[in-house]
Amino acid sequence: MTVASDSDDLQNPDLQLTRRSARPAGTVVTVRGIEIGGSGLVIMAGPCAVESEDQLLATARAVKAAGAHILRGGAFKPRTSPYSFQGLKEEGLRLLARARDETGLPIVTEVLDVRHVELVARYADILQVGSRSMQNVILLEEVGRSGKPVLLKRGMSATLDEYLSAAEYVMSNGNGDVILCERGIRTFEPSTRNTLDLNAVPMLQRRSHLPVLVDPSHGTGHAWMVARMACAGVAAGADGVLVEVHPDPASALSDGEHALTPDEFAVMASQLAAVGLAVGRSMATSRRGVETAPEVAR
């Protein structure tokens, strides 16, 4: 979605590479034939954490069938408490690669430790930098040098200026494939886990050329709100959504309260398609066509 020009009053001279005027037509990040930031809407879906082969494959097949383009899943988990489940680590990465092999879905997973960037980049198609790491400038520099697209989530109390400055760190290290993702900010309201800030969508698109997704799962913390807020995000102009799906949310090792079941996800995907059409956007399709098949069979 192209937007006219920089908002002059908000011009931050340090945003040299991320500002809209640096690429007025907008950035399209292409991942195994899927265009993120192009005319089509992109859905990234999967479990909060990779828990087991069964859990991951069941989720991957279900979200693929319902129209997801990219599989998400956490192998290294940043947790508030040191005593919470911290992820399956490299075993989680292997399971993600297996799920990609079976479904053809590219995979996005978080890298937490700067020493793991190379390891994670060997498996993942997109490196996620989580909201707690948005100002980890060392990590931003390393993913900037990784050669892999980066999904950079907004810090939960980052201003949009700080957010774009974080993207500037990635870009200034040679990596232009940055995908932004609004995932809820911290406010005074206790009834939702965070407050999904959809104002950020048009504002980021006006100020920057980077694709913008929304994550209504973390943005609300309630499964029953996810579909509505995903639709709202697309209506606000988002280039796609990132949602958490689990075959059995009640037994999830983390964040089960906002995970969709595969059936709920399928309903959401169809609602998203309808809202997308209303704002002039269809769902993304692979630009590779039949080429995708061999890769899946790999």
State the residues that interact with a copy of itself by CB under 8 A: 7, 10, 14, 16, 78-84, 112-115, 132-133, 135-138, 141, 156-157, 159-162, 165, 168-169, 172-173, 185-192, 195-203, 206, 219-220, 224-225, 228-229, 231-237, 271, 274-275, 277-279
Q: What are the structure tokens assigned to 266, written together?
A: 């399928």
Q: Among 91, 121, 87, 89, which Cα is nearest to 107's?
A: 121
Give residues with Cβ within 8 angstroms of 239, minimum separation 6.
1, 36, 37, 38, 41, 42, 211, 212, 213
End-to-end CA distance of the chain: 34
Shortest Cβ 213–a copy of itself spacing (Å): 14
Q: Which is nearer to a copy of itself, 56 or 166 (CB)?
A: 166
> Which three-class secondary structure state does DSSP give residue 232?
helix
Shortest Cβ 92–a copy of itself spacing (Å): 16
Shortest Cβ 105–a copy of itself spacing (Å): 26
Q: Which is nearer to a copy of itself, 96 or 204 (CB)?
A: 204
Per-position DSSP letters for 88-155, written without gaps between them: -THHHHHHHHHHHHHH---EEEE---GGGHHHHHHH-SEEEE-GGGTT-HHHHHHHHTSSS-EEEEPP
Shortest Cβ 4–a copy of itself spacing (Å): 8
Shortest Cβ 56–a copy of itself spacing (Å): 23
Q: Which is nearer to a copy of itself, 32 or 116 (CB)?
A: 116
Q: Which is nearer to a copy of itself, 125 or 141 (CB)?
A: 141
Q: Which is nearer to a copy of itself, 187 or 285 (CB)?
A: 187
Q: Are 163 and 154 in contact (CB under 8 A)?
A: yes
Shortest Cβ 255–a copy of itself spacing (Å): 16
d(CA 97, CA 8): 44
Q: Which is nearer to a copy of itself, 86 or 292 (CB)?
A: 86
Helices 137-144 and 160-172 sit at what angle, rounded to 10 degrees?
40
